Each structure stands twice: as structure tokens, then as C-alpha cells.
Amino acid sequence: MSTFEAQYQAKLTTPVKAAEAIKDHMNLIMGSGAGQPLALMKAVGDRARDGAYARLNVYYLHGHDEHLNTIFTPDTIPFIKPHPLFMSRADRELARRGHEKGEEWVHFVPCMFHQAGRLLTEHVRPDVHIVTVSPMDKSGHFSLGTNPDVSVSVIRKAKHVIVEVNPQMPRTFGECLVHVNDVDQVVEYDHPLMEYEVESGSEVDEAIGKLIAEQIQDGATIQMGIGAVPDAVMRFLGDKNDLGLHSELFSPAMAKLIQQGVINGRKKTFLPYKHVYTLALGNREMFDFMDDNPSVVGYPASFTNSPKNIRLNKGMISVNAAIEMDLGGQINSEMVGGLQFSGTGGQLDFVRGAYASEGGKSFLALHSTAKNDTVSRIVPRLENCAVTGPRMEVMNVVTEYGVAEMKGKCMQQRAAALIEIAHPKFREGLRVAARKSNLL
């Protein structure tokens, strides 16, 4: 038995035993998305049900659907307090259940993604970190696989680290490795990773995707957010050449473009030939593509989402979705009806980084309407929501009716350009509102 294997066996325990290290009033930092450790989450939830905690603060980036069946349930919520940095669909469901009872069950923490690692190690005391990893290799290393995002930073400073080894987690490269020396306990749990499928795009998504794809030149490096619009953009990139990838998110559509040779990284000016990501959401086919693929490299969000690194890619193209925009150019991408729907994530990181890139562009895309064309998503003024993108940062806004460039335009020019890409049935009303605000 090798030295590393001996260390592994000495630290190997059960999820129930490992969870005993998580004490009352601690801050527990969990891995994100497919990197969340399901067996450990269940063990922590069971300890709460047994009366182990008066209050346990739990921080994480992107929640797993299994939240609702393991660690965050109606009988644990009085004792375990979820603190997501981004609201996943599971977190929205948890918040909804709390609101039905007149209670706040979810404690959202605003955060720009490139600052998340620092937030969780300097502004929050990281008592314990739990995360899913791939099996250990002969050199004693595990891989964080789909989610190096905040775990790389937290593992280095947490007082206690527990890894959950899952043979279904892909082994990836970059700055994804964790050595057995840096781990306090190991548990094993073979379970399918959380899969995420983007819903089929609508005709509106296709129209927006085509408009943005026309703006992407051969040799550009791309970043795409999550959702139907970014996926639609990628469906129109099949005739492009020598694209690069430096993205917060790695998705099945990106894996497909790499396999087709459209994305090859040949023209990248920062980490050429490498497909850079910090979190991966997708399906089993994508996970298998990532596994032991040296061209797919994961780094912490502090690296991938740092505007100073993003800007090193010439011709950087950033595409993200928005929920609502006002006539001055402010973007809301995270709240609906006054309630937190998602989060800032890396949107502003890449808007800034792309603009700083030589020849770079950023695009914020939104449908012109909501609720079956009864509500305009372009409004006179944002109200009862967060401003995800300040008006001075936004570069290009896209609806199914066209592209409006914001940079260099005065307030009156901005309003006029945005009204032109609003839904026709709302344009006159927006003009009236703009005149009242001296914007036309």
C-alpha cells in the first residue's frame, strides 16, 4: 500500500461519523451544483433532526435539487440556515415554501462571483467545508471536477475539510486538484451527479440567438451564461472558425462545439488551446467528455471571473440573459416581482472584462415581453428590484427586435434606441414615459 493510500484509508469514515465534526453555531461551506455532497448533506440534516444544532449557518453558491430532501427540509429549517450566493431553482422553491408560512427560510447573500472565494474565507469564518470529488489518483490527488468555483479557495483556509468521493465525478485539470494531505476526512458515495437540461428555446430565443451570433467573429473567445438564449446563440455558431472558450459556465452546447472543432482555442491570447471554466452544469454525456480531458481546465472563480484575466483574451465576447431593463440602461438580471430569483453571479464580471478586452463586446439579452406579451421587459424605470448592471457598464442590449448599443450614447439616445427594440405594442407608452422624464 502506498503512503497516499494509507493516508486515505486512515481518513476514510462514514458520512454519519464525518458529520460529527460539524458542530453547533459553525459556518458550514458546501460545494456547488453537482459538487454538493449528497450523503454528507443528508447526514447533517439528520443531525439537525436529532437536536444537534440550535443554529448552523450553511453557505454555498449554486444549490442542488436534493437540498429539499436532505439538508433543507421543514423540520431542519428552524436550526439550519441556508445562505446561497445564487438562487437555484431548489432555493426558489425553498423560499416559496417559507413565504407560504410567512417566514424567511432562505438568507440570500449578494456577491459578485469573482469575489465569492474571498467572501467565504475572509468575511465568513470557514469552519468546515464539504464537497464532492473524483477518486484519488496514484499521486494522492482528488479532482473537484465540475465545480472548482469556490472550493479551491475555501479548502485552503477552512479549519476542517471533508471530501465525498464519487466515482461518477469527472477528473478534470487546471486548478482542480485537492491532495489527500489537505483533507481531514474522506467518505465514499457512488451516486449519479445532478444533471441540468436547458429547456428548448422558443422562436424569440432563436431570433435573439441569431442576432448575437452574427456579431461574433472568427477567432473570438466566448463566455455564455445559462439559459435558452445563450444556448440559442451557440446553435448559430456552427459556421464559425477558431473560437476560444473562457467562461464561468461549461455546458453541453460548448462540449458539442469543441467536438465539432468550432471551439479549439487556437486564436486565444490567454491560455490558448485550453477551454476554461469554473463550474459545469449539464448531463452525463458532458461529464464523460470532461473526464480526463486535458483541454478542459477548471479554475477558481477568482481566476476565471477576474476582469483583469478576462480582458487578456482579445475579441472577448460575453453573452448573458437579463430579466428587465429601464430606459436609462440599468439592468435587472436577478429579481422578479420584488423577490430574489437568481443572483449577480458572474454577469458583471464578464461585462467589465469583455469591454476591457481589445475588440471585446458584451451582450445582455432579454425577451421584449413577459406574461404572454402583457408586460414589457423594457420599462421607464427599474423599481422593486436589484440593479445587476449599472447603466455605465452595459454595452449592447438585445431583444428579438434588434441590438441597441449603449456605450457613448447620451440618456436621450439610449432611451430612443431601447424603445426601438421594445415590443411594438409598448413603444408609444414608453415614448410618453420618456418625454415625462425628459428622455425624449
Q: Which amino acids are annotated catalytic?
A: 248
Q: Are 187 and 309 within 8 A, CB to CB?
A: no
How many angstroms separate the CA atoms of 115 and 110, rounded? 10
| Grid cell for residue 290 | 470532461
Beta bridge partners of 326: 379
Q: Which residues does 374 contact at the CB level (< 8 Å), separation at least 6?
A: none
**Interaxial angle between packed helices 228-235 and 252-259, expressed in degrees from 0 to 180 and rounded to the nearest 10:** 10
How many angstroms separate the CA atoms of 404 and 416, rounded? 9
Neighbours of 432 (CB within 10 A): 11
Report which secondary-structure segment, H or E, holds 336: strand 335-336
For the residues of 342-404, what is the DSSP string, one character each? S--BTHHHHHHHHHHSTT-EEEEE--SEETTTTEESEESS--SS--SB-TTT--EEEETTEEE
How many angstroms separate the CA atoms of 314 and 291, rounded? 28
Task: Kindly tell me the number of DSSP H helices and DSSP E strands found in the chain.
Answer: 15, 26
